[in-house]
Amino acid sequence: MIGGTKASIARICFLLTFLGTACSQSISDPTYNPDEVSTNLGEVESRENGPDLEFRYHDHDQMTRYLRSVSARYPALTALYSIGKSVQGRDLWVMVVSASPYEHMIGKPDVKYVGNIHGNEAVGRELILHLIQYLVTSYDTDPYIKWLLDNTRIHLMPSMNPDGFAISKEGQCDNTYGRHNARRYDLNRNFPDFFKANTKQPQPETEAIKEWISKIQFVLSGSLHGGALVASYPFDNTPSARICRSSVLCSVFQSYAHTPSIAPDDDVFRHLSLVYSNNHAKMSRGVSCKQGSPKFDKGITNGAAWYPLTGGMQDYNYLWHGCMEITLEISCCKYPPAHELPKYWQDNKQSLIKYLAEAHRGAHGFVMDENGNPVERAAIKVKGRDVTYHTTKYGEFWRILLPGTYRIDVSGEGYLPQEVEFIVIDSHPTLLNITLHSAKGYISKAVGVPSGTSLKTTSLPTATTSPVQDGAIVFPED
């Protein structure tokens, strides 16, 4: 539902799924007054406030003013919050763009893009600002964007590393100056790692992301980088990294091994990467950026097959939180001249939008108890895929899957586990509502049955499944 007046900001702020504190840093910030923003706009800001966001780089203050002006101008479609601060105290801004910006829509997915994790990889930062602009100005005129925003909450973080960006230089294509945060840590090597203990000291930017994604169940995500043109998918690290702990030579060998590290959802990750690559103006051609740099078949690659790394963000999203994240390398030059930005926007616009819509592919639904109450933290495991997803506090789950027949195991503490078969088709998500029955009640009932009665003979309720159920989200035509 679209709503949102200034009078209701305090109330809806309270309702934000995440962020009492972050909400107060932006929307309820006593230093921030939407009226003040709109009346004190200088010449630059007033141009930014309109639909014609300029194609130029925005420093942190300019970016902050732009985000605030959009949130003031489009209160029914946007919410601005900060998930924390960088080492040097810059806000890590996130703008939600959705028909329900302040409140999670139960049963509908939250998705995200994170830009500029490497401070000198600047194109993604600007493209996210343009994506915000495009979404809010297209909602009333483009049925596809309306469908997307009506059914998805899109969280857009233009810069995860504003300190690194602050020292980066426009026109620098290949160097690493500005890549790290202010304490010289590479933030895309700073996450907990499944394959190898990560001994790097956690940084405030990384901690903020970890907190953020522990509080919102993101279904799908993209991390925007520069320096290549490819969509790279998990795993970034490889199981054999475990045996390399004590051997420098082994580590060196590993980093040049180019061996794929296959995730349980490899088919889905390849598909998601292809959606980005095939909708991009040139990524799918797989042309190398320069002589000697790799060519990528169809513009996609397994992360470890390109080069293995420890502590990356995408593996963490997937293995810790069931969020399917891929790494999008969107510019050969890390920080190209600003006059090239319109070309990058045109090349990536379709990809950025179509990729997010993939959150509506596969199966989703609710796990409830026999009284209709949601079962939180129920474990969802697709047979043959050794990775566990969990339900939210509303009992929701999402599982992006390609067309086919699947079986899932659903289990929750204190409940009898259940196995459910379902199909996934291409054009609609499959709605799966699963009822779990209390193990306690089951056992106490079982005590009263005649000896010799097998527990297995008691019939268990089945799940309701429907790939075309009324009310299911349907992919609209373009």
Residues making contact with Zn ion (CB under 5 A): 118, 121, 225
Beta strand pairing call for 404-411 and 418-424: antiparallel
SS3 225: strand
Min dist. Cβ of residue 118 to Zn ion (A): 4
Nearer to Zn ion, 225 or 381 (CB): 225
Q: Measuring CA to CA, how many Å separate 217 from each of 153, 332, 378, 402, 431?
A: 11, 32, 14, 21, 18
Nearer to Zn ion, 121 or 358 (CB): 121
Distance between CA 476 and CA 148 in Å, rounded?
9
Min dist. Cβ of residue 415 to Zn ion (A): 43
Nearer to Zn ion, 228 or 341 (CB): 228
CA nearest neighbour of 239 among 399, 386, 388, 408: 386
Nearer to Zn ion, 118 or 270 (CB): 118
Burial class (CB in 10 A: 0-12, 13-18, 19+), 259: middle
Is 43 catalytic? The answer is no
Min dist. Cβ of residue 114 to Zn ion (A): 11
Distance between CA 200 and CA 33 in Å, rounded?
39
Residue nearest to Zn ion as judged by C-beta position: 225
CB 456 within 8 A of CB 417: no
Per DSSP, helices labelled H in 28-142 are 34-39, 43-49, 60-73, 123-138
Distance between CA 410 and CA 388 in Å, rounded?
10
CB 284 within 8 A of CB 299: yes
Nearer to Zn ion, 133 or 331 (CB): 331
Min dist. Cβ of residue 420 to Zn ion (A): 40
Q: What kind and span of H or E run contains 24?
A: helix 20-26
Nearer to Zn ion, 331 or 392 (CB): 331
User: CA neighbours within 13 Å on the CB side: how many for 70?
Assistant: 30
Min dist. Cβ of residue 206 to Zn ion (A): 14
State the catalytic residue, choosing from 48, 126, 325, 329.
Answer: 329
Min dist. Cβ of residue 202 to Zn ion (A): 19
CB atoms inside a 10 Å sphere around CB 103? 16
Q: List, by residue number, the catalytic residues.
A: 329
